[in-house]
């Protein structure tokens, strides 16, 4: 099949949400629909010792949260689907932000009981920055939640996006009867024990439909028809152009846990979600139908298979065709490399890939030559933009608790920070290692994984710094003066770029005034 046909089949998207909104449960149900798995993990009950397909790290199973992006690939009705299930917890937001650079659209899950939450707003800000098309799934309709009109108003005001309901709920909580499919004019009845009735009931706006009255009271039907009339006046009609520009979000209602309302969401997604499109580099926009391969690394994972201690780079293909064992140009290292065993994913299950196309996310086994943000091409010197490290807000020194395991600790800290889980800065004298994160939970994960995967034990010593800023300047003399006089608050990242460790925002402001030719950057992408 030719390149354009392969591109047209691809749908690469992320599922994002605030923690506990039901994101991972929705992922499972989509995989069930696509036949990629046979049984979903019982995420609702700790008593049932099953875990979800996409939460594969041991610490995720213990805590019941996602702390790493998972990639899952499936075929569904002629489409090739790449699902990226992201961490919901705010402490792992940086992993989610980077993942959003590798997708063409997103499905945002919102809890109907809690509505828009803090992390929901932050995730939407990133989607808005990139004009990423968004669909919204309002979950947990089987619980007593907010009025649907109030929810949609909240979505528009808080997330700054117009909404267009594609389905509409009939009641909620114990009175939840089902959803009305606005486009197909049918009702899917809800059964709390079996999810959905097998066949939707075709409807008109008549109130005396005997088949409907068997399941729904006449008063509930009257309310439904009234609400549907209101939706026509209150909300934008669907416009594909506005959706593709990230300005209009189709909205669906349902219950992921009960696998209800999801077929309507997924079928619509297959029809209207974008195929891979152009992606920016520092020089030009790369179009997917270009014949030569380009792509970038957006995530690294060490020890994906604990038995083999391997290191895997998650690689998004942007143009051309990737082929196993073919030589590709590593633009940062200025050398050619090849990959003998590229992999496609089903969470922690992998299969060998002979070829892959724009939109696909594949795993590249790596000995340490690949880093987050690296670009591979067939010779052109390019750098994809928008995959930065962000300024950490918590900084702590690594304290080795077992001097006999110093080498293991060194290796573990470097590999785990290579994943983008946290950032590593080294300060002299003394080769002091400082780990910077955006949240407390990351330290727990690092500590756990260092012991479980590398046999190294450590503690973290709190430091008085509240921010780390990358530094650059065209004034070499003034730059060197700052680095010398402020050496006690200067560290270096893994690429040997100087970083200013600030005890307060006031300190940053004063230093900027003292050294006006020096630039302070909140991300590592200032060089591009």
pLDDT tens, residue by residue, 258-283: 889 999 999 999 999 999 999 989 88
Token couple for 140: 């947990």
CB 157 within 8 A of CB 54: no
In a domain, 191, yes or no: no
Do 16 and 117 share a structural domain?
yes
Helix (H, G, I), strand (E, B) or coil at 393: coil
Domain count, the chain: 3
Do 109 and 250 share a structural domain?
yes
pLDDT at 68 over 50: no
pLDDT at 49 over 50: no
Measure the CA–CA gap between 331 and 316, rounded to whole angstroms. 15
Measure the CA–CA gap between 205 and 84, rounded to whole angstroms. 39
Note the Cα 134 to chain centre separation in Å: 13
In a domain, 493, yes or no: yes
pLDDT of residue 50: 41
CB 136 within 8 A of CB 155: yes
Do 265 and 287 share a structural domain?
no
pLDDT of residue 527: 53
Find where tokens 């060089």 sit: 527
pLDDT at 149 over 90: yes
Note the Cα 480 to chain centre separation in Å: 39
In a domain, 385, yes or no: no
Measure the CA–CA gap between 404 and 409, rounded to whole angstroms. 10
DSSP string, 110-154: EETTTBS-HHHHHHHHHHHHTT--EEEEEE-TTS----HHHHHHH
Flag the least confident range among 83-87, 204-208, 361-365: 204-208
Q: Which residues contact 349 (CB under 8 A, 6 or more apart)?
A: none
Do 169 and 61 share a structural domain?
yes
Do 169 and 127 share a structural domain?
yes
Do 109 and 74 share a structural domain?
yes
CB 361 within 8 A of CB 316: yes
Flag the least confident range among 122-136, 155-169, 180-194, 481-495: 180-194
Do 95 and 113 share a structural domain?
yes
Q: Which of 248, 272, 296 is the last residue of a domain?
A: 272
Helix (H, G, I), strand (E, B) or coil at 323: strand
Q: Which domain holds residue 119?
A: 3-173+237-272
CA distances from 359 to 37, 59, 60, 159, 243 (A): 22, 30, 27, 27, 19
Do 303 and 265 share a structural domain?
no
Within a 13 Å sphere around the CA of 474, how many CA atoms are in the beta-carbon half?
A: 0
CA angle 166, 168, 172 (to 5 degrees): 145
CA distances from 138 to 24, 89, 145, 327 (A): 14, 19, 10, 45
Do 266 and 129 share a structural domain?
yes
Do 359 and 464 share a structural domain?
no
pLDDT of residue 206: 61
Question: Positive or negative, the Cα torsion across 242, 158, 152, 16?
Answer: positive
In a domain, 48, yes or no: yes
DSSP string, 223-275: HHHHHHHHHHHHSPPP-HHHHHTTSEEEEEE-BTTTTBSHHHHHHHHHHHS--
Which whole number is the average pLDDT over 419-447? 86
Token couple for 367: 């000995």
Do 134 and 50 share a structural domain?
yes
pLDDT of residue 307: 60
CA nearest 18: which of 98, 83, 87?
A: 87
In a domain, 388, yes or no: no
| Mean pLDDT computed over every residue of the chain | 84
Q: Which of 321, 352, 377 is the last residue of a domain?
A: 377
pLDDT of residue 306: 57
CA angle 316, 321, 324 (to 5 degrees): 85
pLDDT of residue 528: 44
Q: Which helix (H) or strand (E) holds 30?
A: helix 23-33
pLDDT bin (cut points 50, 70, 90) of residue 346 is low
CB 28 within 8 A of CB 55: no
In a domain, 199, yes or no: no
Highest mean pLDDT among 200-204, 234-238, 326-330, 490-494: 326-330
Within a 13 Å sphere around the CA of 112, how many CA atoms are in the beta-carbon half?
A: 25
Which whole number is the average pLDDT over 229-246? 94
pLDDT at 340 over 70: yes
Which whole number is the average pLDDT over 181-190? 88
Token couple for 399: 């304290």
CA angle 191, 196, 202 (to 5 degrees): 115
Measure the CA–CA gap between 141 and 173, rounded to whole angstroms. 6
pLDDT of residue 392: 81
Do 36 and 157 share a structural domain?
yes
Instruction: Read off the CATH number of the domain in which 368 is found.
Output: 3.40.50.300
Residue 224: beta bridge partners?
Answer: none
pLDDT of residue 198: 58
Pair type for strands 375-377 and 285-286: unpaired
In a domain, 468, yes or no: yes
Flag the least confident range among 193-197, 369-373, 401-405, 425-429: 193-197
Pair type for strands 248-253 and 162-165: parallel
Instruction: Read off the CATH number of the domain in which 499 is found.
Output: 3.30.70.3280
Label each residue of 160-210 as H, E or C. Answer: CCEEEECEEEECCHHHCCEEEECCCCEEEEEECCCEECCCCEECCCCCCCH
pLDDT of residue 38: 53
Find where tokens 């690294």 sit: 300
In a domain, 202, yes or no: no
pLDDT bin (cut points 50, 70, 90) of residue 437 is confident
Q: Which of 377, 403, 436 is the last residue of a domain?
A: 377
pLDDT of residue 59: 47
Per the model's pLDDT, the better-predicted residue between 359 and 344 turns out to be 359
The number of residues in the chain equals: 528
């Amino acid at each position: 099949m030719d390149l354009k046909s392969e591109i047209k089949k691809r749908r690469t998207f992320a599922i994002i949400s605030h923690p506990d909104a039901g994101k991972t449960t929705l992922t499972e149900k989509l995989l069930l629909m696509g036949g990629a798995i046979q049984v979903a993990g019982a995420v609702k009950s700790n008593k049932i010792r099953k875990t979800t397909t996409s939460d594969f790290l041991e610490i995720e199973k213990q805590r019941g949260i996602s702390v790493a992006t998972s990639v899952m690939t499936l075929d569904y009705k002629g489409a090739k689907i790449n699902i990226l299930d992201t961490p919901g917890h705010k402490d792992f937001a940086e992993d989610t932000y980077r993942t959003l650079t590798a997708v063409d659209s997103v499905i945002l899950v919102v809890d109907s009981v809690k509505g828009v939450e803090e992390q929901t707003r932050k995730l939407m800000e990133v989607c808005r920055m990139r004009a990423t098309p968004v669909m919204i799934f309002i979950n947990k309709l089987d619980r007593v939640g907010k009025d649907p009109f109030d929810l949609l108003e909240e979505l528009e005001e808080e997330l700054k996006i117009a909404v267009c309901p594609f389905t509409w709920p009939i009641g909620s909580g114990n009175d939840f009867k089902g959803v009305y499919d606005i486009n197909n004019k049918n009702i899917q009845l809800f059964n709390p024990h079996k999810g959905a009735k097998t066949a939707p009931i075709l409807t008109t706006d008549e109130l005396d439909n005997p088949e409907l009255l068997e399941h729904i009271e006449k008063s509930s039907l009257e309310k439904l028809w009234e609400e549907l009339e209101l939706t026509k006046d209150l909300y934008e009609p669907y416009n594909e152009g506005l959706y593709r520009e990230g300005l209009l979000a189709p909205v669906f209602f349902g219950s992921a846990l009960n696998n209800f309302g999801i077929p309507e969401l997924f079928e619509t997604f297959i029809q209207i979600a974008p195929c891979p499109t152009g992606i920016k580099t520092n020089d030009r926009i790369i179009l997917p139908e270009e014949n030569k391969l380009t792509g970038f690394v957006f995530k690294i994972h060490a020890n994906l298979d604990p038995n083999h201690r391997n290191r895997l780079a998650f690689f998004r293909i942007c143009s051309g065709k990737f082929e196993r064992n073919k030589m590709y140009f590593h633009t940062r290292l200025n050398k050619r490399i090849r990959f003998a065993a590229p992999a496609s994913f089903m969470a922690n299950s992998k299969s060998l890939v002979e070829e892959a196309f724009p939109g696909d996310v594949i795993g590249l086994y790596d000995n340490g030559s690949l880093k987050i943000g690296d670009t591979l091409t067939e010779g052109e010197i390019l750098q994809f933009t928008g995959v930065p490290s962000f300024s950490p807000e918590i900084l702590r020194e690594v304290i080795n608790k077992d001097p006999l395991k110093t080498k293991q600790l060194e290796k573990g800290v470097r590999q785990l920070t290579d994943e983008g889980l946290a950032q590593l800065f080294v300060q002299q004298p003394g080769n002091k290692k400082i780990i910077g994160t955006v949240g407390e939970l990351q330290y727990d994960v690092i500590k756990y994984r260092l012991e479980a995967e590398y046999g190294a034990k450590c503690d973290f010593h709190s430091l008085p710094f509240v921010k780390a800023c990358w530094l650059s300047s065209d004034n070499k003399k003034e730059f060197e003066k700052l680095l010398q006089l402020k050496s006690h608050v200067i560290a270096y990242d893994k690429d040997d770029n100087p970083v200013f460790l600030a005890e307060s925002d006031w300190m940053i402001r004063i230093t900027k005034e003292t050294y006006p030719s020096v630039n302070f950057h909140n991300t590592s992408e200032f060089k591009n």
